[in-house]
Structure formats: C-alpha cells, structure tokens
Amino acid sequence: MGKIKIGNCGWSYLNAEKYFQDWKQRFESKLQAYAKLFSLVEVNLSFYNVPKIETAERWRSQADKISKSFEFTIKCNQLITHRDKFASKKSVEMFEKMKELAKVLRAKILLFQSPASFKPSKENLERVRKFFKTIKRENLVLVWEVRWANEWRKDIVENLFERLELEQCIDPFRQDLSYNKKIYYYRLHGLGSAMYNYSFSEQELEWLATKLKQLRKTAYVLFNNAACYENALEFAKICMKVS
C-alpha cells in the first residue's frame, strides 16, 4: 500500500482563525498556519505570476519553522500551457524559471495544466514532444493534467506520456487514470454543475480513501474546491480509519 499525501491547491483562502483563534500571534503568516494543518501544498500563484526568488525563500523558511518535511509542488506558469502552448523558446525559458522556484522550495513535482481547448492534434502533439525533449528536467517529476477533453483517449495518453516520461494528473471523480509510472497525482475540482463551489460528502471521501488504499505508489491528493480545507482535513481522518 502506497502513502497518501493530502493538501490543497493554495493556502491563501484558508480561514486560519477557524482553526487557530490566535493565529496572528502564533504564526508569522497564513502559510505557517496552513503548514500546521497540512504537510503538502500546491503553489498556484506560479500559474499566474512568477514569484520572486526572495518570496519563495520566505515561504520555504516559514514552512521549515513548522516542519522541514513540508512539501511544495508547483503549478507551472500559464505562458507554457495556455499562451505559448509549448510552442517556442519562451516556454523553455519559463520552465527554467519554474525550476529555479522548485529548487528554492525543495519541490520535486511540477504540474502542467493545459486548457480543455488544447487537444491532441498532430500540431499540438509535435509541440509537446519537442518541448519535453528540449527541457532539462533533472530529477523533477513532471505531471500533466490534460483536463477533460474527450479527445485525449487512453491510448494517446499512454503512448505519449510513456515516451516523454510524464505522470498524468486527473480528478478521480471524473475520469479513470490513464497513465502513471512513479506517483498518482489527483486534483479534486468538485462535481456537477456547481464545479468548484462544491463540498465533497463523507460517502464520496470514503470512496476515494478506499480506492487509494489499494494503490501501491504514493498518491498526492490536492483539493481545489470551495470547501477544500474542510474536505481535506475530513479526508485525512477518513484515511486513518479505512483499512
């Protein structure tokens, strides 16, 4: 049975006072309050803007004061996936900036999230192959969430991801895993028309815990819904009980 790591896609929306009434006196920042509750977080700010190295150094220092084993993963900047779409030197240069950020945060995993409009056309597949063959990933684990485009069939994903040494990120409530080699990486967005404005039920979380207990690799479970912090804490309790 593999290890289950639980966290959230960001910490800025945490209502720290709900968990620590004196959090402003007790902690240097909301990140530290978050790190007291969880051992994992996905940096989402990096998708929109590239944080300054000094900012990343401060995050790492603050997290270390709570736990040196606290883990960051990083969502790669949208220039790569949405604007340049893996096409040019700009994407490679941005990847280097993400690597610098990962080094400071001691992050082992970089996540790419392409839009649903990015489909496996011949042109797009060639762009992706060239990009991942050009970059120097060193020892980083690269994860790609291709969203919910129906065109990304299992055979296309398996063939491409194996050749490029990528892990697939999915929402397990929306699709089955097509390809993984080293880890499982789940991002939970919510169900139905409500999407992100969603709170997972106890039954849904129990289903996921039971599913994950059967896996033999480490599973990263990142909540990305309105009730993410409450759901993640409840999920951690459920995982402790499910055999």
CATH 3.30.450.20 fits 4-188, yes or no: no
- Any idea what the Cα angle at residue 86 is, between residues 84 and 90, rounded to 5°? 60
Give residue 1's pLDDT. 64
pLDDT of residue 173: 92
Examine the pLDDT at 11 and tell me if it is beyond 90. Answer: yes
How far does the chain reach from its first CA to its final CA, in angstroms?
A: 10
* Mean pLDDT along residues 91-104: 98
Domain ranges of the chain: 4-188
> Is residue 148 pLDDT above 80, yes or no?
no
d(CA 241, CA 243): 6
On the 0-12 / 13-18 / 19+ scale of CB atoms within 10 A, 130 is: middle
Give me the pLDDT at residue 2, please: 80
Whether 243 has a pLDDT exceeding 70, the answer reads no
pLDDT of residue 193: 75
**Both tokens of residue 129?**
């192959």
Q: pLDDT tens, 170-196? A: 999 988 777 899 999 999 999 887 778
pLDDT of residue 66 exceeding 80, the answer is: yes
On the question of pLDDT at 106 being above 80, the answer is yes
For all residues of the chain together, what is the average pLDDT? 95
- Lowest mean pLDDT of 19-33, 119-133, 164-178, name the range: 164-178
CA distance 151 to 56: 37
Percent of the chain, pLDDT > 70?
98
Model pTM score = 0.95
Q: In Å, what is the CA distance from 29 to each residue of 14, 45, 56?
A: 11, 16, 13
User: How much is the pLDDT for 149?
Assistant: 66
